[in-house]
């Protein structure tokens, strides 16, 4: 039995996961390489609102679409499968490895391993006995029950898979045991399965699953088979090594951008720098004379130079004088958008989000009150892998190679461009080099198809980093006015939050979000807090900025919890109460949140003395079915630079599937959120995005990330989501730590270091405050050896 190297150890209520080294026995072996080679698959049409049968209802008799889907799913799903395929997730051949069809998309979160563990647990096989393929196109089979679409996002994958995948494994195991029992003429309950074999307790015989395939292949799949109770898990809850990582350390992993297909050319492009503008025309000063350039293509709002390699394409692009028609969109500016949001907050028509009790009366009767306005900027995703799509439009079909979080939506988008049915679009999905919501949107795929349809050969369209950042669909900017009325004990009797910003959800609804309808994402994290506050009024003023927006890691809670948790901190300080004590007093009816709050505070040494201008901040939220507390410790230099000193998180996400992946997601999510809070905001001047690359849209670096502890509460409650929880915690914990260190309450992101300089530190230091922040960034960007060799 493999040893447990990470996560809950020793049976106590709390584990302190450390970066132990996984034992070799924990490695699943050959499956990894097979999985990464089998990166291509094809999807059916995505229709919001239709839960797939495999997910929602288990697998019923004669559900042949699974086999059909597999057999027509493109070059990598193989020829007609001769074996046992009970539903969409499991294929057992007569000989050789079992294949698991993984319904979610792997973008770093470790879901391929987690979903394989759910199937393996109930099927009674080891991860070393299986290989993995991505789900083929089929909304019927693979529509995710929470998102109701074949997509990966919103920290829903583990929650969505938890029931259906274990059920699928249990049903298949039950059938195999039944077939063996029949063959031996013994009662099924005298048999058991282990590591891909059925054993008889009565006659001592055993048979491998492959030998039972013929007997079960045409049998009906049983429904509602009992799954294992916690305490009986062999794999679930153990830190097994991820199956996708070996190919990611030796360069063999194939991301979308790595695709090379015969005859393929590479396209570099320039998109109208003003969103909504279009290409009026261009003068070609010799693009086609650049060696390697084969074509210059245009679409309504962009031009592409196509060449044998990206460098020639980029050089060719430099030979074009582009003339844009900005269609009056130069008016867009950050100042103007901020004014419009503020105006909307004051004068707009709010849409009710949540109302509990009587907020007006409670506010009138309050002993005292606190009110504040918080502002959040637009944010780009800046995934490490720039947006890219490879497309071949042939007379008979369109073939696409890409990494997407929403494969059926991507397929539909391509089909729409071409005016063909979706099944004419063969979409090969790939490992994703960072999603964070960016790759839920098919816009770059639409664009690539618009170019590719003009040429007979396949083209790989690569957005430069500058294009990737400037033409992202951003997390919306917000203007939120939040207030509480406090009782005589200083605790809130009423909370109101007027949220003003655009709708993301509307972009995902075919007819848009109707005017007057609430966007649940806009209020998530504010409408429901962990705290017992009897009167609540959370509403939303819809103010769609003239800028395309999209979900960003942490979605609604990443926006609202920053506001609520910063503000709760303000409330605590306003009545002279310790922020942890204050929160605890509101958590009497929320034991799971109270528990993580207590653990994080205790492990972080909350209340222990710190040096001057050093402080701890805490944040707490219940999001995605999980409960997470984070303590951030910072030191603020006299010049106002913020140095992270320590991070301590405690999470209760119910039953963990792979605890080490939980820890990794909390670490990564928090670092992602801190990076944005410390550095990021997309701004507009004359309709153009001011930022362009990692020099001016800079990201946190290793020298800026402190020691990090994650404590995972052992639980057998249903799993919660974890991929975005850490991001939600980051900004408010940082904000509250800065206040603890300096006494300065920041209410706008990213943090403004000029407000944090030590007023007593002298003019020289103050003058240096702004450049220091940038200077540190510049220093970090180019280590000595890189500078020397790259220059």
| 451-510: contacts with other proteins (CB under 8 A) | 462, 464-465
Q: How far apart, in whole angstroms, are the C-alpha atoms of residue 595 and residue 601?
A: 10
- Among 630, 578, 628, CA closest to 608: 578
- Nearer of residues 54 and 666 to other proteins, judged by Cβ: 666
Least separation, in Å, of the C-beta of 785 and other proteins?
A: 5
Q: Which of 41, 436, 478, 739 binds other proteins (CB under 8 A)?
A: 436
Q: How far apart, in whole angstroms, are the C-alpha atoms of residue 278 and residue 541?
A: 31
Considering only residues 194 to 253 of the shown chain, the ones binding other proteins according to CB under 8 A are: 241-242, 244-246, 248-253
Least separation, in Å, of the C-beta of 405 and other proteins?
A: 12
- Nearest 5°: the CA angle 181, 93, 101 is 110
Sign of the torsion angle spanned by Cα atoms 467, 468, 470, 472: positive
Per DSSP, the residues of 150-171 read: S---TT-HHHHHHHHHHHHHHH
Phi, psi (deg, nearest 5) at residue 736 = -70, -30
Q: How far apart, in whole angstroms, are the C-alpha atoms of residue 379 and residue 473?
A: 9
Least separation, in Å, of the C-beta of 108 and other proteins?
A: 3
Q: Which of 65, 693, 748, 758 binds other proteins (CB under 8 A)?
A: 693
Note if the bond before 669 is cis, omega within 30 degrees: no
Are 140 and 52 spatial neighbours (Cβ–Cβ below 8 Å)? yes
443-452 vs 407-418: helix crossing angle, rounded to 10: 40
- Nearer of residues 767 and 779 to other proteins, judged by Cβ: 779
Least separation, in Å, of the C-beta of 267 and other proteins?
A: 12
Considering only residues 93 to 112 of the shown chain, the ones binding other proteins according to CB under 8 A are: 107-110
Least separation, in Å, of the C-beta of 296 and other proteins?
A: 19
Structure token digits, residue 513:
């979000």
- Nearer of residues 191 and 243 to other proteins, judged by Cβ: 243
- Nearer of residues 166 and 635 to other proteins, judged by Cβ: 635
Q: Which of 322, 585, 694, 774 binds other proteins (CB under 8 A)?
A: 694
Helix (H) or strand (E) holding 122: helix 111-123
Are 361 and 420 spatial neighbours (Cβ–Cβ below 8 Å)? no
- Nearer of residues 109 and 500 to other proteins, judged by Cβ: 109
Q: How far apart, in whole angstroms, are the C-alpha atoms of residue 153 and residue 382?
A: 17
Considering only residues 9 to 28 of the shown chain, the ones binding other proteins according to CB under 8 A are: 19, 21-22, 27
Least separation, in Å, of the C-beta of 132 and other proteins?
A: 16
Q: How far apart, in whole angstroms, are the C-alpha atoms of residue 303 and residue 282?
A: 9
- Nearer of residues 72 and 245 to other proteins, judged by Cβ: 245
Considering only residues 70 to 89 of the shown chain, the ones binding other proteins according to CB under 8 A are: none
Considering only residues 695 to 714 of the shown chain, the ones binding other proteins according to CB under 8 A are: 695, 699-703, 705, 707-708
Least separation, in Å, of the C-beta of 448 and other proteins?
A: 16
Non-local (6+) Cβ contacts of 648 within 8 A are: 600, 603, 604, 630, 631, 708, 709, 711
Q: How far apart, in whole angstroms, are the C-alpha atoms of residue 515 and residue 279?
A: 32
Sign of the torsion angle spanned by Cα atoms 363, 364, 368, 371: positive
Least separation, in Å, of the C-beta of 254 and other proteins?
A: 8
Least separation, in Å, of the C-beta of 271 and other proteins?
A: 16
Helix (H) or strand (E) holding 391: strand 388-393
3-class SS of residue 303: strand
Least separation, in Å, of the C-beta of 745 and other proteins?
A: 26
- Binding part of the chain for other proteins, among 79-87, 304-312, 344-352, 367-375 by CB under 8 A, reads 304-312
Q: How far apart, in whole angstroms, are the C-alpha atoms of residue 272 and residue 323?
A: 9
Helix (H) or strand (E) holding 628: strand 626-636
Q: How far apart, in whole angstroms, are the C-alpha atoms of residue 586 and residue 391?
A: 55
Structure token digits, residue 463:
């957005």
Q: How far apart, in whole angstroms, are the C-alpha atoms of residue 354 and residue 347?
A: 20
- Nearer of residues 272 and 647 to other proteins, judged by Cβ: 647
Give rounded-to-5 percent helix, strand, coil for the chain: 35, 25, 40
Question: How many residues sit close enough to other proteins to count as binding (CB under 8 A)?
Answer: 77
Least separation, in Å, of the C-beta of 746 and other proteins?
A: 22
- Nearer of residues 439 and 592 to other proteins, judged by Cβ: 439
Least separation, in Å, of the C-beta of 19 and other proteins?
A: 4
Per DSSP, the residues of 46-84 read: --TT---HHHHH---TT-THHHHHHHTS-GGG-SS--EE
Least separation, in Å, of the C-beta of 484 and other proteins?
A: 33
Question: Residue holding tokens 């990166």?
Answer: 39
Structure token digits, residue 426:
């063969």
Least separation, in Å, of the C-beta of 743 and other proteins?
A: 29
- Nearer of residues 447 and 699 to other proteins, judged by Cβ: 699
Considering only residues 567 to 586 of the shown chain, the ones binding other proteins according to CB under 8 A are: none
- Nearer of residues 123 and 676 to other proteins, judged by Cβ: 676
- Nearer of residues 564 and 666 to other proteins, judged by Cβ: 666
Torsion angle defined by CA atoms of residues 177, 182, 184 and 189, in that order, rounded to the nearest 10 degrees: 50
Q: Does residue 430 touch other proteins according to CB under 8 A?
A: no
Strand partners, 630: 619, 649
- Nearer of residues 45 and 436 to other proteins, judged by Cβ: 436
- Nearer of residues 434 and 501 to other proteins, judged by Cβ: 434
Least separation, in Å, of the C-beta of 782 and other proteins?
A: 6
- Nearer of residues 85 and 777 to other proteins, judged by Cβ: 777
- Nearer of residues 309 and 349 to other proteins, judged by Cβ: 309
Least separation, in Å, of the C-beta of 329 and other proteins?
A: 27
Phi, psi (deg, nearest 5) at residue 149 = -165, 155
- Binding part of the chain for other proteins, among 7-15, 51-59, 579-587, 783-791 by CB under 8 A, reads 783-791
Considering only residues 633 to 692 of the shown chain, the ones binding other proteins according to CB under 8 A are: 660, 664, 667-672, 675
Contact letters for other proteins, residues 306-325 (x by CB under 8 A) = --xxxxx-------------
- Among 322, 224, 194, CA closest to 270: 322
- Nearer of residues 174 and 699 to other proteins, judged by Cβ: 699
- Nearer of residues 226 and 702 to other proteins, judged by Cβ: 702
Least separation, in Å, of the C-beta of 465 and other proteins?
A: 4
Question: In angstroms, what CA-CA distances link 69 with 63, 136, 210, 424, 476?
Answer: 11, 6, 22, 14, 38
Least separation, in Å, of the C-beta of 395 and other proteins?
A: 27
Phi, psi (deg, nearest 5) at residue 769 = -60, -50
Q: Which of 2, 153, 222, 434 binds other proteins (CB under 8 A)?
A: 434
Contact letters for other proteins, residues 256-275 (x by CB under 8 A) = -xx-x-----x---------
- Nearer of residues 538 and 730 to other proteins, judged by Cβ: 730
Considering only residues 349 to 388 of the shown chain, the ones binding other proteins according to CB under 8 A are: 382-386
């Amino acid at each position: 039995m493999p040893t447990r190297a990470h996560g809950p150890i020793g049976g106590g209520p709390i584990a302190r996961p450390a970066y132990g080294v996984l034992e070799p026995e924990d490695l699943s072996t050959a499956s990894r390489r097979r999985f990464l080679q089998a990166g291509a698959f094809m999807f059916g049409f995505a229709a919001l609102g239709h839960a797939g049968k495999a997910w929602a209802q288990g697998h019923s008799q004669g559900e042949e679409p699974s086999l059909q889907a597999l057999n027509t799913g493109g070059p990598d799903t193989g020829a007609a499968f001769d074996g046992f395929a009970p539903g969409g997730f499991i294929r057992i051949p007569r000989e050789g490895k079992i294949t698991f069809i993984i319904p979610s998309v792997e973008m770093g979160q470790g879901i391929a391993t987690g979903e394989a563990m759910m199937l393996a647990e109930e099927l009674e096989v080891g991860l070393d006995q299986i290989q993995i393929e991505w789900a083929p196109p089929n909304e019927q089979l693979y529509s995710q029950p929470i998102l109701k679409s074949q997509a990966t996002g919103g920290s829903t994958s583990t929650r969505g898979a938890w029931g259906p995948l274990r059920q699928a494994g249990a049903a298949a195991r039950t059938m195999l045991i039944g077939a063996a029992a029949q063959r031996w003429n013994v009662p099924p309950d005298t048999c058991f399965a282990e590591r891909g074999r059925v054993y008889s307790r009565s006659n001592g015989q055993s048979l491998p699953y492959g030998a039972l395939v013929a007997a079960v292949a045409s049998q009906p799949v049983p429904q509602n088979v009992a799954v294992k109770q916690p305490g009986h898990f062999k794999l679930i809850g153990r830190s097994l090594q991820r199956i996708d990582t070996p190919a990611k350390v030796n360069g063999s992993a194939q991301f979308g951008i790595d695709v090379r297909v015969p005859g393929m050319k590479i396209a570099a492009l320039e998109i109208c720098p003003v969103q909504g503008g279009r290409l009026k025309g261009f003068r070609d000063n010799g693009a086609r004379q650049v060696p390697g350039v084969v074509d210059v293509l245009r679409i309504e709002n962009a031009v592409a130079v196509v060449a044998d390699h990206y460098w020639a394409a980029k050089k060719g692009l430099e030979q074009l004088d582009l003339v844009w028609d900005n269609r009056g969109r130069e008016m867009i500016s950050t100042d103007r958008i901020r004014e419009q949001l503020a105006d909307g907050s004051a004068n707009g028509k709010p849409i009710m989000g949540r109302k509990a009790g009587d907020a007006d009366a409670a506010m009138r009767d309050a002993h005292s009150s606190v009110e504040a306005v918080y502002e959040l900027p637009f944010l780009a995703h800046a995934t490490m892998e720039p947006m890219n799509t490879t497309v071949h439009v042939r007379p008979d079909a369109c073939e696409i190679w890409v990494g997407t979080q929403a494969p059926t939506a991507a397929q539909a988008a391509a089909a729409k461009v071409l005016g063909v049915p979706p099944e004419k679009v063969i979409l090969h999905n790939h490992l994703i080099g960072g999603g964070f919501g960016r790759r839920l949107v098919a816009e770059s795929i639409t664009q690539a198809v618009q170019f590719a349809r003009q040429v007979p050969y396949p083209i790989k369209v690569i957005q430069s980093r500058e294009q990737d950042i400037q033409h992202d669909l951003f997390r919306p900017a917000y203007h939120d006015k939040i207030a509480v009325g406090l009782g005589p004990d200083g605790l809130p009797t009423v909370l109101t939050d007027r949220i003003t910003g655009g709708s993301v959800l509307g972009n995902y609804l075919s007819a848009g979000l109707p005017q007057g309808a609430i966007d649940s994402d806009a209020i998530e994290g504010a409408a429901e807090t962990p705290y017992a506050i009897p009167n609540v009024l959370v509403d939303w003023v819809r103010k769609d900025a003239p800028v395309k927006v999209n979900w960003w890691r942490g979605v609604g809670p990443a926006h609202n919890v920053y506001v609520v948790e910063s503000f709760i901190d303000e409330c605590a300080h306003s009545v002279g109460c310790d922020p942890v004590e204050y929160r605890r007093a509101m958590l009497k009816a929320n034991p799971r949140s109270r528990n993580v709050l207590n653990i994080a505070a205790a492990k972080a040494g909350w209340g222990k003395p710190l040096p001057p201008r050093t402080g701890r901040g805490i944040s707490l939220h219940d999001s995605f079915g999980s409960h997470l507390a984070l303590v951030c410790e910072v030191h603020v230099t006299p010049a106002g630079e913020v140095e992270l000193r320590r991070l301590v998180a405690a999470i209760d996400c119910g039953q963990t599937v792979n605890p080490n992946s939980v820890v990794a997601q909390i670490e990564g999510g928090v670092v992602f959120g801190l990076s944005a809070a410390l550095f990021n905001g997309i701004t507009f001047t004359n309709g153009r995005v001011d930022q362009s690359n990692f020099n001016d849209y800079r990201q946190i670096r290793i020298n800026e990330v402190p020691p990090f502890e994650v404590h995972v509460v052992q639980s057998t409650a249903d799993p919660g989501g974890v991929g975005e929880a850490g991001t939600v915690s980051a900004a408010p914990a940082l904000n509250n730590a800065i206040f603890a260190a300096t006494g300065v309450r920041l209410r706008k992101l990213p943090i403004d270091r000029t407000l944090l300089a030590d007023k007593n530190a002298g003019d020289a230091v103050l003058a240096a405050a702004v450049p220091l922040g940038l200077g540190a960034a510049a220093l970090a960007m180019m280590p000595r050896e890189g500078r020397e060799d790259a220059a």
